[in-house]
Structure 1
Amino acid sequence: MARHDHAHDLPLLNAWQRGFPLCPAPFDVLGQALGRPAGEVIAACERLQRAGVLGRIGGVFAPGAGGAGLLAAMAVPRERLEAVAAAVSRHAGVSHNYERENTLNLWFVANAATPAALEQLLAQIERDTGLAVLRLPMLRPYRIDLGFDLGQRSAAAGGMTRTAATPVAAHEAALAALAEHGLPLVERPFDAWAEALGQRTEDVLGTLSRWLAQGTLSRFGMVVRHHEVGYTANAMTVFDVPDDEVDACGERLACQPGITLAYRRARAGRWGYNLYCMVHGQERGEVLALVEQAALQAGVARHRHEVLFSLRRFTQRGPRRFAAAHPTPPEAPRHA
C-alpha cells in the first residue's frame, strides 16, 4: 500500500512507536493527544492491522533480554527459491524472511526459547531443504529497533541501543509472551492482560515500566510494517572491519543519518563480514547515497563491503522468543 493511503494515520503511527502510555486507558491518552475520540483511535488501529500496516502494539525486547535468536542466510538455487522460502517461513520461530541481492539470497531471522531449541530449528531447516544454513549470531548491538520517523523520505532513527539488557525473569515470561503477541485493541487492554495472568493491572504496568527503565525492552509501542508505508527500498550493508576497530566503527555508524539498525555479528566461513547496518528508504538511489555518506562519515568506506537490497519479503512478523516457551499466550478477555 502506498504511503499516502495512510497519511491521516501517520501522526498515530509515528508518535507512538515509542512511549506508548503505560496506564489503564492508553487509548484515551492517544485520543487526547490527537484530538480524536478513544474509540476512533481503536478503530483506526484495527483498520491499520487489517491493512498490514500496524503489526501490533507491544514490546520490542532488547538483545539479551531472553530466549535465543540469530540472523541466518542460505544460498538457494533460483528455481527452488520460492519453495525453500515457504519451507523456512512455515516455522513459527522465523520472524523475518527476505530475498536479498547476493549469492546468499535467502536471509531470515530465527528465534527460540533456548539456544538448543534454536539449533534444532536450524538443523530441521537444513534437513528439510538439503541446503546449508549460515549462522550469524549477534555479538553486539549498536542500534536495534528503536523505531524511526515515518515523515521522512528515508528513515531516521533516534537514540542508541544499550550494550547489555537485564533478562526477563522466569516468573515474568508469560507477560513477555503477551508483550510479543501485542495488546488487545480494547479500551483497557492492560486490564485484559492482568486478568489473563491473574495479576493486578498496576503490577503489569509496573513490570513493563521497569523493563523499559532497565533496558529489557528497547521500546513499547506501535510496531509498523515499513514496506506498507512506502519504505520499499531497504538495504543491508555488511562490512569487513578489523576486530579491534569494529566497536568504534559500529558506534560511529549507528549515529549516522539514515541508519536504522547497526550491529556486530560473528563471521562465518567465507562470509567474512562482521559489521552490519540497515537503511530504509523509498528509492534505491537515495538509499545508496545514504549508505555511502554514512560509511564515509563512520570511517568504514575503505573496508570491504557489500550492499544487499531486499527483493522480496516472504515473512515479516513479531519474534517469538518468549512465546516459544508459552506457545499459546493466555487469552486476553475482550472488554467493552
Structure 2
Amino acid sequence: MNSASLLHPAAGARPALAVAAPPSCCAGLLQTVLHGWRDRFPLHSSPFYVMSTRSGATPRELLAVCERLQRNGSLQPIRAQWGPHLRRARWRLGFAGAAARAPGLLAALAALPGCLRIEHGSADAPIWAELEALDEAGLRRQLAALPEPPTHQLLWQETPGAASDGPHADLALAALVERGLPLCAGPYERAAQQLGRSERQLLSTLRAWQRDGELAAMTLAPTATRSSGFGMLALWQSFTPSLEACATLRAQPGLQRLLISEAPPAWPWRFGLVLEAAEALASQQLGSLLMQAGITAAPELRMALRIERPRDAALLFAV
C-alpha cells in the first residue's frame, strides 16, 4: 500500500491504523483528544481517520492515546448524547418523613439510571431528586428499585419529541449507543455486528436521528467529575408570583429551578425555587432574590440544601 492510499482510502475501505509514524502524543494531542470530540465524534465508518485529518496526528496515534486515557479512567466510551427533540420527561420527587429516613435511600437514588440531581439537608429534612425517563412506565420501573416510594411527585418538564419515533422504535440500537461503543478502529462496524445489521444501515439510522434532533451527537468525552454544591429551596402552597416577578427571578444568577404548578395532589405547592450558592451565603442570597422580585409572601417550606449530581446525562434506554 502506498502513502497516497493511506491518506485517501478507497470508498468503502477502512484506512489501516498500523501506519508507522513517529510518536506525537504531546500535550496538545492529549488536549485535543480530551476536549476536541466531546460533542462531535464522527458518524463515519472510519472515525479515527476523519479525526486524524483534523488533528495532525495519525489514526494509530489517536487511537493509542484514547486507549491509554480510557484505561486510566480519563475517557468515557464513545456514546450518544441525546438531542432536544427526543421524547422524554423529567420529574421532581420528594421524600419526607419516614421515606426520607429509609436506610440507603441516597445511594439507591444515585444508582438510578435516570437520576440527575439529589438535594438533601439535615438528617430529618426531606430529600429531593430529579429523574428523567422516556415515559411514566420508565419512571415506575426506576422507582421500584427504591427502599421507599416518594411522598411527592411533579412532572416538571416534558419534551414532546420529533414526528418520527426515532430511537423509541429501535430500542436495541438506542440502548447500545447510550451504553457506549467499543474503542476501536471501526466502532460502528463492531456495533452493527452485535445487532446483526450492516454498518451502512446503522450509520444511516444514527444520521436520521441526528437530522431529526433526537441525537445531538456521538461523543468521545473525558470522564465527568462529580461535584456537589449548596443552595436553598423554598416552596409556597398558595402563592403564585406574577409574570413580571418570574421574569425577574429567571434573570438572577444562581437561580437553578423555578417550579410553577397547579398543585396536583402529589405535589401540594403552587410555586417553588431552588437557588445554588455558597453555603454561608445561600440564605442571604435567597432573601435578596425574593426582595428584587417583589415577593413578600413567606414560603411554607424553606431548607438549606446540599446538591449532588450523580451523572451528567440520564440513561434513558437502560431501564
1:202 is the counterpart of 2:200 = yes
CA deviations 1:9-66 (Å, max 9, x no partner) are 4433333222221101112222332233333433443444455544432212246635
Query: Hey, what does 1:107 align to over in structure 2?
Result: 129
Asked if the contact 2:118–2:308 (Cα under 8 Å) also holds between the matched residues in 1, the reply is: yes
The residue aligned with 2:19 is: none
Q: For 2:224 and 2:303, locate their aligned partners in 1 and report how far apart those are by CA, in whole Å.
A: 19
2:311 maps to what in 1?
316
Aligned to 2:170: 172
Of all paired residues, the percent bearing the same amino acid is 24
1:11 aligns with 2:32: yes
Deviation at 1:177, TM superposition (A): 1.0
| Deviation of the 1:74 alpha carbon | 2.8
Are 1:25 and 2:46 an aligned pair? yes
TM-score under structure 2 length normalisation: 0.62
Q: Which residue of 1 aligns with 2:188?
A: 190
CA contact (8 A) 1:238 1:307 kept: yes
The residue type equivalent to 2:116 in the other structure is H
Pair 1:135 & 2:153 matched: yes
Question: Paired residues, what number?
Answer: 275
TM-score, scaled relative to structure 1: 0.59
Does the C-alpha gap of structure 1 residues 202 and 312 become closer, same or farther in structure 2, counting only changes over 3 Å? same
Query: Over the residues paired in the alignment, what is the CA RMSD in angstroms?
Result: 4.8
Aligned CA distance change for structure 1 residues 302 and 29 (closer, same or farther; 3 Å): farther
Q: Which runs of 5+ in 1 are unaligned?
A: 1-5, 142-162, 325-336
Find out whether 1:72 has 2:93 as its counterpart. yes
Which residue of the partner structure matches residue 119 of structure 1? Answer: 140
Which one has more relative contact order, counting CA pairs under 8 Å at least 6 apart?
Answer: 1
Question: Which segments of 5 or more consecutive residues in structure 2 lack a partner in the other structure?
Answer: 1-26
C-alpha contact 2:41 2:218 (8 A) present in aligned 1: yes
Counterpart of 2:118 in structure 1: which amino acid?
Y
**For the pair shown, which has the larger CA radius of gyration, 1 or 2?**
2
2:77 alignment partner, SS class: strand
**Structure richer in helix, relative to its length:** 1
The answer as to whether partners of 2:88 and 2:158 remain within 8 angstroms in 1 is no
